[in-house]
Structure 1
Amino acid sequence: MLRIFFALCSLLLFTTVAHAQNRVTLSGFVKNAQSGETMIGAMVRFPDLDISASTNSYGFFSVQVPAGTHQVEVSYIGYNTIFNTIELKQNVQRSFEISNESKEIEEIVISASSRPNQVKSPQMGALKITAEEIKKVPVIFGEPDILKTIQLLPGVATGNEGSSNFFVRGGGGDQNLILLDEAIVYNASHLLGFFSTFNSDAIKDVNLFKGGIPAQYGGRISSVLDINMLDGNQKEFGVEGGIGLIASRVKIDGPIVKDKSSFMVSGRRTYADLFLKLSNDENVNQSKLYFYDLNAKMNYKINDRNTIYLSGYFGKDDLGYSDQFSFDWGNATATLRWNSILNEKLFSNTSLIYSDFTYNVRVNSNDNDFGIASQIQNWNLKQDFTYYGFNNHSIRFGLNALNQTIRPASLSAAENTSVNSITVDTRQGFESAIYASDEWKVSDRFSMIYGLRLTNFMVRGPGTFYDFDDDGEAIGEQQYGSEVVKNYLNLEPRLSMSYLLNGNNSIKASYNRIVQHLHQLTNTTSSLPTDQYVISSVNIKPQIADQVSLGYFQNFANNGYEFSTEIYYKDMRNQIDFRNGADLQANNQLEGELLFGKGRSYGIEWLLRKNRGRLNGWVSYTLAKSERQFDQINGGEWFNARQDRTHDISIVAMYELSKRWTAGATFVYNTGNAITFPSGKYQLDGSTRFYYTERNGYRMPDYHRLDLSVVYEPTPEKKRFSSSWAFGVYNAYNRRNAYIIDFRENEVNPNITEAYKIALFGAIPSVTWNFKF
């Protein structure tokens, strides 16, 4: 693969010298004037030449122009545009700083991202959310939440009530790649899904890719959620945070060496467990119910061409009832990154990344004294290059090597207990990949992004690997040492195209193939910490998805509004389900419990977004279908996936009542999840048993909810200190949405079976005091 990689690099970097004659390169970074933070997606434009470039994920840009004196315009939505006149006789590296302080002459302040580039860019199926937007959307318990916010976007469906789990274009929850500063996050939830692991105070930028996924991403077949943490203020020290009814948070950042090095530390904790101490019940008094998380990052500018970044995330949930039961789980990530400008046209990023997810369950009740533990751990080395050889080409290429270790749920029992210890073999996989892509502006109207990703996955020992018959019974086994057991090689083509109809609207099309080697075993729409993970093996083939999409994009009213509609079809192979009565915990022959089939999903999405003025927000609607087919399920006929939703509507509005008061509202409506209900019942040994026929052939009741919020920001008495109060009501009209539908015999007439609903939440008020100094 290295030979292929270096050959590909040589091909991409081969250019003619004649093209570069009499042209010079302006390169550098665009930064926030107040904090020194690099700006992602800022625009550097030469108006007289009609030449422009945007900053990459690290705030870097590079643009070639004829030698001479030119005016440069630097802009970022929500920030003041700056103009400079620069004399360019040779290659120049220069950084620009732009301010987000409002100008007095401006009547309207932009409060959300206005993206004229969404029309011109060939990138499709991508959505961007700013940290400010996330903080304004009313959510459960009044805690700003990235995952709850993206669930309001088209093509993204929620899990159960309050869950952080999400499904993109009919895919499963495990088919979303969630990255935090390039590190993989496996279970992005706190308190069984009611909070996500991402503290919005520490977040700089959020991008969601649903289709036309760039070649640098791989490993998940439905979507990529790429989250970047703040680097830290290089100008001055600052503290901000909030105190709420459920949780409190604080962030501290500032320079280590002014304009050269900075740090950021952000922490959050719930304190429901403190109220348990007030109970007179000794068991409750000794119980645990809390989570915490910590984000940290620092950077050091070695010189104008080299910068080092170190970031990490640490989070843990701890639940327990007295000394009889305990359950804890958590994530840990670390990213060491080196940005280097090799020359004015070649940018390099080298990253060493660590990710870890673990959970532990302990039961000590009566004759039972045992624990269950599981862990996923990986090390990832990534090398990424971006080559800016021409203004109409942006070439990106690189490689990465990921070593993944999964320690499945094993059971350890104490002596003299009724439970036996079971140790399950650890599984290891090594995935290597090379990729290359080119964003090519073919003409003023037509542009495209095309690329390839080549992945090689090696299933490695040591361990025992089994062969199974059609009924899932083991018919043979093979013991392997530290060697390659199975190898999967796949080519993943990517293509996105855009044709500009005029300056304000365009049509786009995309195709991508993605391969996934990690599989989550779950039978609910909520991603639980105890869900099992397996990697591709002798019996489990990698998931493969092919997606095509077509869309229309338009901006109008001077980019104050944006409209888009996309239609898609996704074909999924090697999908996983379970045999009836499958045993998923502490099972050395777990692969025999699995069934393999295929899936398909298709739909159409609409998004209308208002970006400017006192009223802004968006309306999204998705009409979709998601199905699965397994020979051993439902008579081999296609059936609804658990996450299948016919209709999904979200309305988000934020209105500036005055300089001090801002109101927000969110309304959501969606078709209930597909579910399997009993079709009949029968008596066996004196007990009633339910009879099930069609898989996921019924529906939960339709779901709808209204959330309201009001934010009050008093005029600060001191220039350095400001604060605000956020009041909110989740589920304002107290809708009792069904969390579970179960069945029971009627108390009066046992021959009648009745369904009953369990609702999780009614109306939930919240209040949070936020501060900054």
Structure 2
Amino acid sequence: MLRHVSLQLTCLLLPLAAAQAQQAPPAKAPSSAAKGQATLSGTLKDAANGEALVGATVSIPALGLGTGANEYGFYSLSVPAGTYAVQFSFIGYETQTVTLTLTQSQTRAVRLAAQGVQVGEVIVRGQRPDQNVKSTEMSVNRLDMKQIKLMPALLGEVDVVRAIQLLPGISTVGEGASGFNVRGGGVDQNLILLDEAPVYNASHLFGLFSTFSPDAVKDLKLLKGGIPAQYGGRLSSVLDVRLKEGNTERLGVSGGIGLISSRLAVEGPLVKDKASFIVAGRRSYGDLFLKAIPDQKDNQAYFYDLSAKVNYTLGEKDRLYLSGYFGQDVFAFGQDFKNDLGNSTGTLRWNHVFSPKLFANVTALVSRYGYGLGIPEGRNAFNWKSDIQTYQLKADFNYYYSPGSTFNAGASATYFRFAPGQVTPTSETSALQPLKLDEQQAAEYAVYADHEITLSPRLSGQYGLRLSVFDYLGSGTTYDYEGITGQKLTPVNAREFGSGQLIKRYVNPEPRASLRYVLNEQSSLKASYNRMVQNLHLISNTTASSPLDVWQPSTTNIKPEHADQVAVGYFRNFREDAYEASVEVFGKTMDNQIDYINGANTLLNRNLESELLYGQGRAYGAEFYVKKNNGPLTGWVSYTLSRSERKIDGINQGDWYVSKFDKTHYLSVVGIYELSRRWSVSGTFNYSTGISTTFPDSRYVYQGLVVPNVTGDVRNNYRVPAYHRLDLSATLQGKRNAERRWQGSWVFSVYNAYGRRNPYSIYFRQNEDQPTQTEAVRLSIFGSVLPSAAYNFTF
């Protein structure tokens, strides 16, 4: 199968590479200067540690031209030959202004120092953070790790995913829920990438913490709309997380000690100015506390993860990156029950500069998510295993044709292997029978091209097309299904397919486009359209996804999901960019959305498709965002007004109903205040409409028990009470001493400061005192104040 994938990729890449080679000038390209043009290219890095500065800018104010660095810090800017003052800048860093005579193409590597540091003899100037107004991007959010580390944390554990849930358009169904929801989509409709490798379950402890160690993350970007053509495979969003590359200047150690976990990261040079590394690990120690309790000493509950990355500079034009992640959650209740789940990823990347204008990145990656559970001992002892594996080979090209015109193109080939479930009895007396669902295979091929162009000083845009081909492969048995919609169907017309045999192919074009019109120096209007296709589906009939949910490929009966989204926004900065604000309105339609018949069995079901229902989805709303960028007080306020609905044959009489993750109102307030050079305080407040749920409208008696019951095909006919929570935090920095490398800080935080018992769910049961009555019970994950303290350090 891998050979099949590689041959397909070769066929896709050869025409692309040939076309790019014809466009690109030779590597030494002084021919551009002969036409009165010169290209300045190179890399932008952090002066302190050598990390690439993603999104840093290079500009020539005299010409009104500029460009940004890509994901690897590479930039390219072509200008008429001459002498210019060139500015290199990035938010949070001192701007360098240098005078360069550009008579022919030249390469220049630039290192920027953090604000407050003078570098050599260059002129230091401030930077205006107006990218939100001037760039074509919209529906994109970035968060700085320094800022995230100052925000209140649950039990002292800094968390990337919790931080992005404070941004407009992003929500969750509550504590203890894995994943997040974006603009009315499900958790499976978010593509989460860690150094380009997909992560299928980005959470620890059933959603309380994310898999991303804060010491290892360099950059994160969330795209909710106007998604470039290079991304595909999900309907709602892309969370692109990049790991640090390792300090190229000196050995460094950082970490933290908290109430439930501790972490440690080590980074440094391997070969001076050529290679560096970083290794970051984290482990919780709940199991150690359990061992100290006599009644709990045989129980286990902990997680751990490990991130590592090495990069090596082969020469001026070539660089290799090797990174990996491994994380696991382990739970056990003596010999009664055990459960483990985890992710592992590996990424190998090669950067090559073909010419000052042509940059390429080739990636090979692997990703796996799996879980297991069972009963270790006893009459019914068993083991249950399931996983999904992904192998991908891809290539991306950036061609900087001119300052106002950049072409991006690429191709990828991906192979998927699904093991839905296997149960093996481990006791001779077990009443369980061995059961193994058929493994499934699939391959996906994609090519894309897009073009960023500046049409005038006010008008710019980006347009592109992605073409995806998804093959559902054997071996396996497929069925057609007959019966009444809304009830379990009967499989008919069984057909057998051999290993690697094509069962079903889906071909989908995915156009993308976005426009930006600058009204003045402080404001702009933006609009975007994108069509997304999703061929992998998370089968889950619970409100919050769980580790036991099943990933399923598109088959003969499960069709690919499609989404068309349109967004329009107004962006404005105030007071010399000290404040930024935006209003975005979006609308999204979806088809082939999956729901379930009442009482559907989604676990270890050979005929799972017989219990699925399909239909349409729609989401629409408005997002408001105001952010203060500098001064003693920084932070933001975001508010989302939205609606998410589904229309499924066999549910709610075929009428529209709200989805299980619909939230009409979602408000977040974030504030960070620097009291002094050592003390800072912060707070976050959340308010949201309660999630929708289905309440019983009748009951029946079975063997003396009163059982709540739902009649008809209603769905999500009630809401739980509204959710709101206040978190507080204070950070004390250690005394600064330039001669001492050790730097420490204490973080004190209070989660759920006023002890709100937010409902995770509401269920119904028989009243113990009055058995003839049914009572509603509120289940809360955290119903009290949770104080914590953590110590962080670097040296």
- Same fold per superposition (TM over 0.5): yes
Residue aligning to 1:109: none
Q: For 1:448, which of 461, 469, 483 is the aligned residue?
A: 461
**Cα deviation 1:190-242 (Å, max 9, x = unaligned):** 11111100001100100000001110000000000000000000000000100
Residue aligning to 2:40: 26
Residue aligning to 2:3: none
Q: How far apart in 1 are the matches of 2:578 and 2:130?
A: 9
Q: How far apart in 2 are the matches of 1:367 and 1:336?
A: 46
Report the Cα offset of residue 175 of structure 1. 0.2
Residue aligning to 1:600: 618
1:620-769 correspondence to structure 2 within 5 Å: 620-693=638-711, 694-717=714-737, 718-761=739-782, 762-769=784-791
Residue aligning to 2:403: 391
1:122 partner letter: T
Q: How far apart in 2 are the matches of 1:439 and 1:208?
A: 19
1:589 partner letter: N
Across the aligned residues of Structure 1 and Structure 2, the Cα RMSD in angstroms comes to: 1.9
Q: How far apart in 2 are the matches of 1:751 and 1:104?
A: 78
The answer (yes or no) to whether the contact 1:451–1:493 under 8 Å persists in 2 is yes
Q: How far apart in 1 are the matches of 2:304 and 2:104?
A: 52
**Cα deviation 1:538-580 (Å, max 9, x = unaligned):** 1110011111111111111111111011111111110111122
The answer (yes or no) to whether the contact 2:33–2:81 under 8 Å persists in 1 is no
Are positions 1:46 and 2:57 aligned together?
Answer: no
Percent of aligned pairs with the same amino acid: 46
Are positions 1:203 and 2:217 aligned together?
Answer: yes
2:716 partner letter: N
Q: How far apart in 1 are the matches of 2:557 and 2:777?
A: 40
SS in 1 for 2:418: strand
SS in 1 for 2:149: helix
The answer (yes or no) to whether the contact 2:616–2:648 under 8 Å persists in 1 is yes
The answer (yes or no) to whether the contact 1:113–1:611 under 8 Å persists in 2 is no
Residue aligning to 2:4: none
Q: How far apart in 1 are the matches of 2:264 and 2:167?
A: 28
Q: How far apart in 2 are the matches of 1:440 and 1:467?
A: 48
Are positions 1:159 and 2:159 aligned together?
Answer: no
Aligned residues: 765
Report the Cα offset of residue 20 of structure 1. 7.9
1:644 partner letter: D
SS in 2 for 1:738: coil
- 1:4–1:327 Cα change, 3 Å: closer
Residue aligning to 2:441: 428
SS in 2 for 1:136: coil
Are positions 1:552 and 2:570 aligned together?
Answer: yes
1:209-358 correspondence to structure 2 within 5 Å: 209-281=223-295, 284-358=296-370
Residue aligning to 2:535: 517
- 1:189–1:314 Cα change, 3 Å: same
1:162-181 correspondence to structure 2 within 5 Å: 162-181=176-195
Report the Cα offset of residue 164 of structure 1. 4.5
SS in 1 for 2:161: helix
Q: How far apart in 2 are the matches of 1:113 and 1:495?
A: 29
Q: How far apart in 2 are the matches of 1:3 and 1:289?
A: 48
2:520 partner letter: N
Residue aligning to 1:108: none
SS in 1 for 2:437: coil
The answer (yes or no) to whether the contact 2:705–2:766 under 8 Å persists in 1 is no
Residue aligning to 1:476: 493
**Cα deviation 1:596-653 (Å, max 9, x = unaligned):** 1111111100000001001000000000000111111111111110000000000000
Q: How far apart in 2 are the matches of 1:640 and 1:755?
A: 22
Q: How far apart in 1 are the matches of 2:72 and 2:279?
A: 20
The answer (yes or no) to whether the contact 2:128–2:576 under 8 Å persists in 1 is no
1:99-110 correspondence to structure 2 within 5 Å: 99-103=113-117
Q: For 2:392, which of 356, 363, 380 is the aligned residue?
A: 380
Are positions 1:563 and 2:575 aligned together?
Answer: no
SS in 1 for 2:610: helix
Residue aligning to 1:771: 793
Report the Cα offset of residue 749 of structure 1. 3.7
Q: How far apart in 2 are the matches of 1:158 and 1:20?
A: 57
1:557 partner letter: R
Are positions 1:408 and 2:430 aligned together?
Answer: no
SS in 2 for 1:343: coil
Unmatched segments (≥5 aa) in structure 2: 1-7, 26-30, 120-125
Which deviates further from its counterpart, 747-756 or 81-90?
747-756
SS in 2 for 1:118: helix
Q: How far apart in 1 are the matches of 2:128 and 2:656?
A: 42
Report the Cα offset of residue 371 of structure 1. 1.5
Which deviates further from its counterpart, 415-424 or 312-321?
415-424
- 1:163–1:228 Cα change, 3 Å: same
The answer (yes or no) to whether the contact 2:337–2:375 under 8 Å persists in 1 is yes
Q: How far apart in 2 are the matches of 1:203 and 1:18?
A: 39
**Cα deviation 1:378-407 (Å, max 9, x = unaligned):** 101110000001111111000000101110
**Cα deviation 1:233-258 (Å, max 9, x = unaligned):** 00000001000111100110000011
Report the Cα offset of residue 690 of structure 1. 2.0
Q: For 1:589, which of 607, 610, 629 is the aligned residue?
A: 607
Q: How far apart in 2 are the matches of 1:444 and 1:101?
A: 30
1:129 partner letter: L
Q: How far apart in 2 are the matches of 1:81 and 1:57?
A: 20
Which deviates further from its counterpart, 749-758 or 395-404?
749-758
Q: How far apart in 2 are the matches of 1:297 and 1:15?
A: 31
Q: How far apart in 1 are the matches of 2:351 and 2:387?
A: 31
- 1:43–1:163 Cα change, 3 Å: same
SS in 1 for 2:188: helix
**Cα deviation 1:330-366 (Å, max 9, x = unaligned):** 1000000000001111000000011001101011464
Q: How far apart in 2 are the matches of 1:212 and 1:48?
A: 31
Q: How far apart in 1 are the matches of 2:734 and 2:128?
A: 27
The answer (yes or no) to whether the contact 1:114–1:611 under 8 Å persists in 2 is no
Report the Cα offset of residue 655 of structure 1. 0.2
The answer (yes or no) to whether the contact 2:540–2:549 under 8 Å persists in 1 is yes
Q: How far apart in 1 are the matches of 2:534 and 2:283?
A: 34
Q: How far apart in 2 are the matches of 1:710 and 1:294?
A: 28
Which deviates further from its counterpart, 345-354 or 92-101?
92-101
2:745 partner letter: S
Q: For 1:536, which of 547, 554, 565 is the aligned residue?
A: 554
Report the Cα offset of residue 753 of structure 1. 2.3
Q: State the TM-score, normalized to the length of structure 2.
A: 0.94
Q: State the TM-score, normalized to the length of structure 1.
A: 0.96
Q: For 2:102, which of 67, 88, 105 is the aligned residue?
A: 88
Q: How far apart in 1 are the matches of 2:497 and 2:293?
A: 54
Report the Cα offset of residue 452 of structure 1. 0.1
The answer (yes or no) to whether the contact 1:382–1:398 under 8 Å persists in 2 is yes
Q: How far apart in 1 are the matches of 2:17 and 2:140?
A: 27
